Amino acid sequence: MLTDWARSWTKKLRMAIARALGFLGFSPNGLTILGYLVHLPVMYVLATGRLQLGGVLVALAGLIDTLDGALARETGQDSQFGAFLDSVSDRYSEGTVLFGLFLWYLSTGARLELALIFIALLGSVMVSYARARAEALGFECRVGLLTRLERVSLVVVGLVVQRVQLMLWAMAIFTNVTAIERIYHVWRHSRRA
């Protein structure tokens, strides 16, 4: 899974940045909120049709999103509420980016892209919900093709290389495939239990 590889590959760098942020007085929850707030200008850039620039900004905003957990661990401030806030903020961030694209395609009258954005957003929410609900029932559920890092990476690449419709098709299909993978995973493990 790309997420596990990226976490291990960037761990030392993230921890060094987290130490510096802790020294400067940042709190993990404050950084989580900042991580969401930087997505608002990204939404505006996308809504005005500057899609390549939007892709670069999504990547930069995504980097901020990766630091709150590291800061929490580095400063000993990790908490259940912080983990909850981070998860909720991630969902809002993803929705904000897709809403920027939605506004752009709404202004151009592109119906197919609007439908694909809706389906991709629904699938993305279901991927996260399936994991949260499974874990609430006591099942580990980190399986699936298109987890958050993969989704963000796909959006960045699609925007930067200007293959947005292809990216939206991939998001619409594979977020829902991932949600179904998670449903099947929990079904299989629930039968064993």
Tell me: pLDDT of 138 over 80. yes
The yes-or-no answer on residue 78 being catalytic is no
Tell me: pLDDT of 4 over 70. no
Tell me: pLDDT of 193 over 80. no
Domains and CATH numbers, the chain: 2-192 (1.20.120.1760)
Tell me the percentage of the chain whose pLDDT exceeds 70: 95
Q: Can you give the pLDDT at residue 192?
A: 86
**pTM summary value:** 0.89
Amino acid in position 186: V
- Of the residues 65, 68, 86, 90, only one is catalytic, namely 90
Tell me the percentage of the chain whose pLDDT exceeds 90: 74
Q: What is the pLDDT of residues 77-131, one digit of tens each?
A: 889 999 999 999 999 999 999 999 999 999 999 999 999 999 999 999 999 999 9
Q: Which residues of 103-121 are buried (b: 16+ CB within 10 A; e: fewer)?
A: bbbeeeeeeebbebbebbb
Question: Residue 143: phi, psi to the nearest 5?
Answer: -80, 165
**Cα–Cα distance between 95 and 102 in angstroms, integer?**
10
If pLDDT is split at 50, 70 and 90, which confidence band does 153 have?
very high
**Cα–Cα distance between 12 and 164 in angstroms, integer?**
33
Residues in contact with 51: Cβ distance below 8 Å, sequence separation at least 6, in sequence order: 101, 104, 159, 162, 164
**Cα–Cα distance list, 179 to 31, 94, 116, 142, 144 (Å):** 29, 16, 16, 11, 7
If pLDDT is split at 50, 70 and 90, which confidence band does 22 have?
confident
Q: Can you give the pLDDT at residue 25?
A: 85
Q: Can you give the pLDDT at residue 12?
A: 80
The mean predicted confidence, pLDDT, of the chain is 92
Q: Can you give the pLDDT at residue 2?
A: 59
Q: Can you give the pLDDT at residue 23?
A: 85
Tell me: pLDDT of 185 over 90. yes
Signed CA dihedral, 183, 184, 185, 186: sign only: positive
Residues in contact with 27: Cβ distance below 8 Å, sequence separation at least 6, in sequence order: 71, 77
